[in-house]
Amino acid sequence: MNITRKDSDALNAILSVNLTKEDYLPKVEQALNKLKKNVSMKGFRPGMVPAALVKKMYGTGVLVDELNKIVNDTVNNYIQDNQVEILGRPLPVPTDIQFDIHHPEDYTLEFELGLSPAFEIAALDKSTIIKAPKVDITDELLNQELDGLRGRYGKMSFPEEGIQEKDILQVKFVELGDNQEAKEGGVVTSGPINLDIVKEEALKVTLLEGKVGTAVATKDLFAAIDRERAQIIKHVLGLEQEPEGLGSAFELTIERISRMEKAELDQEFFDKVFGPEQVKSEQEAKDKLRTELSAYVSQSENGKLNEKIFTYLIDNTEIALPDAFLKKWIMASNEKPITESDLEAEYPAFVRNLKWSLIVNKISKDNDLKGDFEEVKEHSKEALRQQLRQYSPTGEGFSDDDLEMLNNSMLAKEDHVKKSFDAVMEQKLFVAIKNHITIEDEKVSFEDFFKS
């Protein structure tokens, strides 16, 4: 047996495997003898079918199987032993050889290789400047957050008058006839309404200036409310479907005013939000919110910075690829048939991911990046700690022993270990990248940060 490599260019090569009869016939005979012991055929006891008959019926199939095994092992060993860096997997070159167990020959089988390209990452240089978004936690933002918490922990009140924009009005709706009086057999129903969906200015003003018992008419309820007709019927009037002959004119009578009164900035409020005795003043509450918001946005800030680095390296690293080979490999490897048009549409995304994979491998190799189990274990524990904080924001209820026991349980799962290992290696990767380039902070507002 002999294997040779011929490079077509820097990105493509052909491996030729030359097999003599002596290389494969002994293994074919062994496979046929093993098969003979299990062949069942009418007229013969199990295992007693004549070898010639087994060879006649199954010989060519066994020949092809054994040739595939030998050739695949030979190609894989060659690639491994010679440290040939390839993309995808070797693809057999189509052949018109007619394999026949009764006429064994010497064979030459060929395989296409897509070679991994040599490249440099020029962007890994201190002259490369990437802006790191840093959320500006302003006093205004802290006031908004505290105000929102006061609303969330507030109490419902039911004033008789003095209606405000955010109040919810319980309104009685009475369908009116042509004479602007209650329509006989018309709709009479009650339901809640928010003033912000009332777009008829006169109606809105009257409601705002009204009180419990105030009645006001509108010629067209469906024009007065900023919602689709079907939504008004279902969610405002509370009807399952539109009654036949439903008119547009309605009288609205305020039956109740519901208002969420904001919580007072007292110790009861602080204890509910931050935990008993954790915060004792408005300033301490704002300081606590600043810390929590900073921790909240920190992971997102890092994620957005990493995304910018990813995009920059991809767009500024020239990597030549064996495109024709890769497209052929994708077609051959896809579980479901893929059309040429689908391939062309999806290929740019494939190339982008492949380029990133090559960049990651090069950086990891050049910087000797490795992860050990202790790092994986600690990362897993910290991730669990962050998840548990969602259920206990004040940090109560989960001891170090509880966390350790849960973490050990999670580390018994192979997929969790792999996910944690990948996360550790990703962290190491971006640390290495950031050490080679220049990171400059760029302040952004909370709103703009989460818009982009």
What is the distance between the alpha carbons of residues 131 and 308, in angstroms, rounded to a whole number? 8
Q: Is the pLDDT of residue 267 over 60?
A: yes
- In this structure, the dihedral spanned by the alpha carbons of residues 296, 302, 307 and 313, taken in order and rounded to 10 degrees, is 180
| CA-based nearest residue to 300, from 445, 133, 140, 437 | 133
pLDDT (0 to 100) of residue 335 = 82
Helix runs in 316-399, H state only: 323-333, 340-366, 373-391
**Residue 61: what are its φ and ψ, rounded to 5°?**
-65, -40
pLDDT (tens digit per residue) in 317-357 = 999 999 999 999 999 988 888 899 999 999 999 999 999 99
The vertex-128 CA angle with 421 and 431, nearest 5°, equals 20
pLDDT at 391: 65
- The DSSP letter of residue 118 is P
Domains contained in the chain, CATH given:
2-115 (3.30.70.1050), 129-142+280-451 (1.10.3120), 155-261 (3.10.50)
- Amino acid, single-letter form, for residue 409: S
- Of 88, 32, 116, nearest to 359 by C-alpha is 116
pLDDT score of 401: 82
Helix 414-436 crosses helix 373-391 at what angle (to 10 degrees)? 100
The one-letter code for the residue type at 325 is F
Q: At what angle do helices 414-436 and 340-366 cross, to 10 degrees?
A: 70
Q: pLDDT value at position 122?
A: 94
The C-alpha atoms of residue 383 and residue 88 are separated, in whole angstroms, by 34
| pLDDT tens track for 140-180 | 999 999 999 998 899 999 999 999 988 999 999 999 998 88
Q: Quick one: pLDDT at residue 147?
A: 92
User: Average pLDDT, stretch 296-304?
Assistant: 89
- Give residue-wise pLDDT tens across range 184-228: 999 999 999 999 999 999 999 999 999 999 999 999 999 999 999
Half-sphere exposure of 404 (CA within 13 A, CB side): 3
Listed in sequence order, the DSSP H helices in 37-90 are 51-81
Number of residues assigned to the chain: 452
Q: What band does 296 get if pLDDT is binned at 50, 70 and 90?
A: confident
Residue 143: CB atoms within 10 Å: 13
In terms of C-beta distances under 8 Å and separation of at least 24 residues, what long-range contacts does 98-105 make, across chains too? 99/60, 99/63, 99/64, 99/67, 100/60, 100/63, 101/28, 101/55, 101/59, 101/60, 101/62, 101/63, 102/59, 104/21, 104/24, 104/25, 104/63, 105/21
0.75 cut: is pTM over it?
no
Per-residue pLDDT reduced to its tens digit, 361-417: 999 999 999 988 999 999 998 888 877 766 655 445 567 788 888 889 888 999 999
Phi, psi for residue 400 in degrees, rounded to 5: -60, -35
Q: Which two tokens stand for residue 181?
A: 């009086």
In the predicted model, what is the mean pLDDT of the chain?
A: 91
Please give the Cα distance from 32 to 222 (Å, whole number): 84
Whole-angstrom distance, CA of residue 452 vs CA of residue 292: 21
Please state, in angstroms and rounded to a whole number, the distance separating the CA atoms of residues 127 and 168: 58
Q: What is the percent of the chain with per-residue pLDDT over 70, rounded to a whole number?
A: 97
Structural tokens at position 340: 């040429």
Distance from CA of residue 362 to its chain's centroid? 25
pLDDT of residue 170: 95
- Residue 397 Rama label (left phi>0; alpha psi -120 to 50; beta): left
> pLDDT tens digits for 1-39?
899 999 999 999 999 999 999 999 999 999 988 888 877
36-69 confidence digits (pLDDT tens): 887 777 777 777 778 888 788 888 999 999 999 9
| Contact predicate 139/96, CB 8 Å | no
Spatial separation of the C-alpha atoms in residues 276 and 297, rounded to whole Å: 25
DSSP label at residue 265:
S
Tally of CB atoms within 10 A around 135: 21
Element (H, E) at 44: none
Buried b (16+ CB within 10 A) or exposed e, 420-431: bbebbbebbbbe
